[in-house]
Amino acid sequence: MKTLKTFFLLVFATTTSIVCAQDKNVTITTHKLTESIYMLEGKGGNIGIFVGDDGVFMIDSQFAPLTPKIIEAIKKLSIKPIKYLANTHHHGDHTGGNENISKQNALIIAHDNVYKRIKDNPKQSDASLPVITFNDKLSLYINGEQVLVFHVDNAHTDGDALLYFTKSNVLHTGDTYFCKRYPYIDLNSGGSVNGYIQAIKSALILIDDNTKIIPGHGNLSNKEEYETFLYMLETLKRKVETEISEGKTEEEVALNSSLTKTYDDLNYGCCFISSEKMRRTLYKSLKK
Ligand SMILES: [Zn+2]
């Protein structure tokens, strides 16, 4: 037991030092979507930035060590202060910079469960907490536009919010969409395959062929790619459900690479979630 603990501590220490070393080399790339909306890429979840006369509205904050670089990038887009920061969910690669941004006098907005999960996380301070929370949806009227912030149940986590800019026709999905890669569905934080699929369907009702989509991870996207992603998930879901109905075990499904071959060949397992991890997640979530 002690050896196991030491092993995990070592792994943790190694991972942490790799992360810190990489942060020095991270550059923040700004993508212009419209005259007033931008996507910032650095390390962690994609950031959305909305600028205008009222101030800067920010979506997600990546990791704390990146805040100075992120603020530098935002200052090139607007001289106004950051007024609001919305969190799409509680994960550290989306909320790690919360404390730093709230110290800039920004108000943090998130779903009720994001508040609970940050509050319960000893690594995050009270300054990281949302000050405005909601349980279903809210509208923010800023910079001459209605921004719709809406919750989807048990998708990537139990506290996901998607944001739709009603005039600019831009959608930020948070981690309820990973562009051209297998998604991380956090079953331990209330996520589920069925909820994840439902989240995409709910968002598809709002958007059209011209909508620009900021995914949680991956490149800037559009409706066509979003629908392809939905089709991928529904196809894999059906396949794994068949396996389950035939009495297959988690190990059998995890090792059966033919189930995901079409998408493995398209390199969907490139990043955080390997094809085996995807099959395991599908099995665990659908077996329930
Ligand atoms: Zn996440």
How much is the pLDDT for 18?
Answer: 39
Distances (CA, A) of 26 to 77, 124, 230: 19, 22, 31
Show the CA angle centred on residue 183, arms to residues 37 and 189, nearest 5°.
Answer: 95
DSSP 183: P
In the reported structure, the alpha carbon of residue 91 is separated from the centroid of ligand 1 by a whole-number distance in angstroms of 5
In the reported structure, the alpha carbon of residue 276 is separated from the centroid of ligand 1 by a whole-number distance in angstroms of 19
The residue to which tokens 């189930």 are assigned: 259
Instruction: Tell me the chain's radius of gyration from C-alpha atoms.
Output: 19
How much is the pLDDT for 288?
Answer: 81
Determine contact, residues 202/171, Cβ cutoff 8 Å.
no
How much is the pLDDT for 5?
Answer: 43
In the reported structure, the alpha carbon of residue 88 is separated from the centroid of ligand 1 by a whole-number distance in angstroms of 8
In a domain, 228, yes or no: no
How much is the pLDDT for 21?
Answer: 42
DSSP 154: T
How much is the pLDDT for 23?
Answer: 67
Beta-bridge mates of residue 141: 146
Which residues have beta carbons under 5 A from ligand 1 (an ion)?
A: 91, 175
Determine contact, residues 101/85, Cβ cutoff 8 Å.
yes
In a domain, 250, yes or no: no
Q: Which structural domain, as residue segments, surrounds residue 41?
A: 24-223
In a domain, 78, yes or no: yes
Q: Is 8 exposed, middle or buried (0-12, 13-18, 19+ CB in 10 A)?
A: exposed
In the reported structure, the alpha carbon of residue 3 is separated from the centroid of ligand 1 by a whole-number distance in angstroms of 31
Q: For the sheet containing 161-165, what is the strand order?
A: 137-142, 145-151, 161-165, 170-178, 212-217
In a domain, 58, yes or no: yes
In the reported structure, the alpha carbon of residue 226 is separated from the centroid of ligand 1 by a whole-number distance in angstroms of 18
User: Phi and psi (nearest 5°) for 49?
Assistant: -130, 130
In the reported structure, the alpha carbon of residue 113 is separated from the centroid of ligand 1 by a whole-number distance in angstroms of 14
How much is the pLDDT for 69?
Answer: 97
In the reported structure, the alpha carbon of residue 89 is separated from the centroid of ligand 1 by a whole-number distance in angstroms of 7
In a domain, 242, yes or no: no
Determine contact, residues 48/82, Cβ cutoff 8 Å.
no
In the reported structure, the alpha carbon of residue 53 is separated from the centroid of ligand 1 by a whole-number distance in angstroms of 31
In the reported structure, the alpha carbon of residue 100 is separated from the centroid of ligand 1 by a whole-number distance in angstroms of 19
In the reported structure, the alpha carbon of residue 45 is separated from the centroid of ligand 1 by a whole-number distance in angstroms of 7
Tens digits of pLDDT across the chain (288 residues): 444 444 444 433 333 333 444 467 899 999 999 999 999 999 999 999 999 999 999 999 999 999 999 999 999 999 999 999 999 999 999 999 999 999 999 999 999 999 999 999 999 999 999 999 999 999 999 999 999 999 999 999 999 999 999 999 999 999 999 999 999 999 999 999 999 999 999 999 999 999 999 999 999 999 999 999 999 999 999 999 999 999 999 999 999 999 999 999 999 999 999 999 999 999 999 998
Count: domains in the chain: 1
The pTM for the full model equals 0.91
In a domain, 238, yes or no: no
In the reported structure, the alpha carbon of residue 86 is separated from the centroid of ligand 1 by a whole-number distance in angstroms of 14
In a domain, 12, yes or no: no
How much is the pLDDT for 25?
Answer: 87
How much is the pLDDT for 6?
Answer: 43
In the reported structure, the alpha carbon of residue 246 is separated from the centroid of ligand 1 by a whole-number distance in angstroms of 32
Residue 83 belongs to a domain with what CATH number?
3.60.15.10
In the reported structure, the alpha carbon of residue 184 is separated from the centroid of ligand 1 by a whole-number distance in angstroms of 7
In a domain, 76, yes or no: yes
In the reported structure, the alpha carbon of residue 40 is separated from the centroid of ligand 1 by a whole-number distance in angstroms of 16
